[in-house]
């Protein structure tokens, strides 16, 4: 029996997210289907984390156990041949039998892209949020690092977990041409956490919320629904660190 | 009455090409629909040329005549607001009443992108042709300029026209990372002409056809069906020159 680690890249636009769901096209579902075809039996594929419907990935990680009479090069080729082109296995390697994609993940990095200019190229619309009116970028840049802390992130999530403490290690905004790129790294993320943080930064960028409000939201420890959740299509899971 | 010139950019993936067709989503059809909504009556939009289903454009040009009580800035904004985000009016300007997008076009430039490497990013697959095995790029580079001539291009088209003479002004291949980019400029193109030329260059790149064959095909002046037509999604109408 061998354990394999996959790095996966996908355009999430046409899928119902990572997690397997009956009668729905999901990334996990399609990878399992491809693997089952190669192995001739069902093999579960465990991802580092779920991505929501419409969210993209450059570096999602997953693992599976199998006893296959195939080199890892052939297995990689066979998997990609059985997957739609909008899902690509970037790399496949044999790992220690104790490796676990989710449990052993130390941190994850997400990127959110905002195109801030009146016009947008039709070739970018699937991958960035278009905000046609000017945003207060200096205020957004000032606010972003306020998320760097170990805290209860319930105010920036869609639901309350028993253990809602997460440690955000990096939270910053930089600009590239007309794009505002938000990068966030944490030891874990609550449901909708990145998109709610982006929604908060957008409220600040629109002048509808003061930067100081972030501190207040953390103190309340409640889901206040103050910040809208930013749309899925601007978000990309960049990397999982082990 | 005022005449307007539009420069249009679109992701052609989900459309049945430029030309208006009943019950089908076409670029021309959607622009006319947007314009009709703004004008309150039907206004025909004339394009510089048809692009096939699945073909993209960065610089398609079109014109229309209208008598609207709107600044050109407002008209541009209104048009984009009434179009899907995969179709963008890049610019709109008032032109001489005698301007004609098709009849006055001096030349058109198309670009065809081939991603030549075993792996491809899922974010590129809509816009490039993926060829996973190595191509003989030096031979393709040598063959490309052989298309520069004024000649009967029927051998590189899907049908025979009464006047099949076209003048190719530029035909060259350059590389950018894993991409092979073919650029071609001509005073006009026959149906499927660019894609058949690319198909021919791909045959040469695959070692299935000799470079000398191009000369022979021109001499025959017949549609020989020797070269397959390259898929639409790698093709983009870059610019129309006046």
User: Does the beta-carbon distance from A130 to B85 stay under 8 Å?
Assistant: yes
Residues B42 and B149 in one domain: no
Nearest partner of B31 among B55, B64, B67, judged by Cα: B64
Domain that holds residue A166: 107-241
| Per-residue tokens: B103 | 């009849």
- CATH of residue B76: 3.30.70.580
How do residues A67-92 score in pLDDT, each as one tens digit? Answer: 998 999 999 999 999 999 999 999 99
Q: What is the mean pLDDT of residues A187-193?
A: 94
| B158: in domain | yes
| CA atoms of B168 and B146, how far apart (whole Å) | 10
Selected for mutation to probe chain A from B84, B123, B126, B236 (highest A CB count within 10 Å) is: B123
| B223: in domain | yes
Residues A118 and A87 in one domain: no
| B101: in domain | no
By annotation, the residues of A acting in catalysis are 52
Contact by Cβ (8 Å): B178, B159: no
Specify the pTM.
0.88
Nearest partner of B10 among B34, B28, B23, judged by Cα: B28
Alpha helices in A51-192 (DSSP H): 72-81, 137-143
Identify the band that residue A44 occupies on the pLDDT scale cut at 50, 70 and 90. Answer: very high
Residue A180 pLDDT greater than 90, yes or no: yes
User: Does the beta-carbon distance from B123 to A121 stay under 8 Å?
Assistant: no
Residue with tokens 């032109």: B95
Residues B73 and B173 in one domain: no
| CA atoms of B120 and B87, how far apart (whole Å) | 25
| CA atoms of A213 and B237, how far apart (whole Å) | 48
Does residue B221 come out as left (phi exceeding 0), alpha (psi in the -120 to 50 range) or beta?
left
The predicted structure's pLDDT at residue B226: 63
Residues B145 and B220 in one domain: yes
* DSSP 8-state assignment for residue B112: E
| A136: in domain | yes
ipTM of the modeled complex: 0.82
Residue where one domain finishes, among candidates A74, A95, A116? A95
| CA atoms of A156 and A24, how far apart (whole Å) | 28
* DSSP 8-state assignment for residue A110: E
**Total structural domains in chain B?**
2
| B13: in domain | yes
Residues B88 and B118 in one domain: no
* Biggest distance spanned by C-alpha atoms of chain B: 60
Q: What is the mean pLDDT of residues B182-210?
A: 95
Q: What is the mean pLDDT of residues B152-161?
A: 86
Residues A142 and A208 in one domain: yes
Residues B229 and B143 in one domain: yes
Q: Which of A88, A118, A125 sits opposite B120 (nearest CB)?
A: A88
| B127: in domain | yes
Contact by Cβ (8 Å): B53, B166: no
Output the average pLDDT for chain A: 94
| B41: in domain | yes
Nearest partner of B130 among A232, A188, A84, judged by Cα: A84
How do residues A123-177 score in pLDDT, each as one tens digit? Answer: 999 999 999 999 999 999 999 999 999 999 999 988 778 889 999 999 999 999 9
Residue of B nearest to A14 (CA): B122
Residue where one domain finishes, among candidates A42, A68, A95? A95
Residues A87 and A132 in one domain: no
Residues A77 and A114 in one domain: no
A228: phi then psi, degrees, rounded to nearest 5: -70, 155
Residue A221 pLDDT greater than 80, yes or no: no
Residues A47 and A21 in one domain: yes
Contact by Cβ (8 Å): A89, A35: no
Residues B82 and B120 in one domain: no
Residues B121 and B202 in one domain: yes
The predicted structure's pLDDT at residue B225: 61
Nearest partner of B13 among B238, B240, B236, B239, judged by Cα: B236
| Per-residue tokens: B78 | 């209104």
| A101: in domain | no
Identify the band that residue B224 occupies on the pLDDT scale cut at 50, 70 and 90. Answer: low
List the catalytic residue out of B11, B52, B67, B96: B52
Residue where one domain finishes, among candidates B38, B66, B95? B95
Between the CA of residue A19 and those of A162, A233, A241, what are the distances in Å?
22, 17, 20
- CATH of residue B120: 3.30.70.660
What residues have CB less than 8 Å from B22, skipping those under 6 apart?
none
- Which residues of A touch chain B, with CB atoms under 8 Å apart? 9-11, 56, 80, 85-88, 90, 118-123, 125, 127, 130
Share of chain A above pLDDT 90, in %: 89
Q: Compute chain A's Rg from CA coordinates.
A: 19
């Amino acid at each position: 029996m061998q354990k394999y680690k996959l790095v996966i890249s996908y355009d999430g636009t046409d899928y119902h997210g990572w997690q397997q769901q009956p009668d729905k096209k999901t990334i996990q579902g399609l990878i399992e289907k491809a693997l089952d075809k190669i192995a001739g039996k069902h093999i579960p594929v465990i991802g580092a984390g779920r991505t929501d419907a419409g969210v993209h990935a450059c570096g999602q990680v997953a693992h599976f156990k199998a006893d296959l009479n195939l080199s890892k090069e052939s297995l990689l080729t066979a998997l990609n041949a059985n997957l739609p082109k909008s899902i690509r296995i970037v790399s496949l390697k044999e790992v220690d039998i104790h490796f676990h994609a989710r449990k052993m993940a130390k941190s994850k990095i997400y990127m959110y892209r905002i195109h801030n200019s009146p016009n947008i190229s039709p070739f970018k619309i699937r991958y960035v949020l278009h905000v046609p009116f000017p945003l207060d970028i200096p205020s957004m840049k000032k606010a972003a690092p306020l998320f760097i802390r170990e805290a209860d992130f319930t105010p920036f999530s869609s639901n309350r977990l028993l253990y809602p403490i997460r440690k955000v290690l990096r939270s910053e905004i930089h600009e590239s041409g007309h794009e505002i790129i938000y990068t966030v790294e944490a030891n874990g993320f609550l449901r909708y956490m990145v998109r709610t943080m982006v929604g908060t930064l957008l409220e600040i960028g629109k002048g509808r919320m003061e930067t100081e409000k972030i501190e207040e939201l953390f103190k309340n420890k409640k889901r206040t629904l103050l910040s809208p959740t930013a749309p899925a299509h601007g978000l990309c899971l960049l990397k999982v660190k082990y």
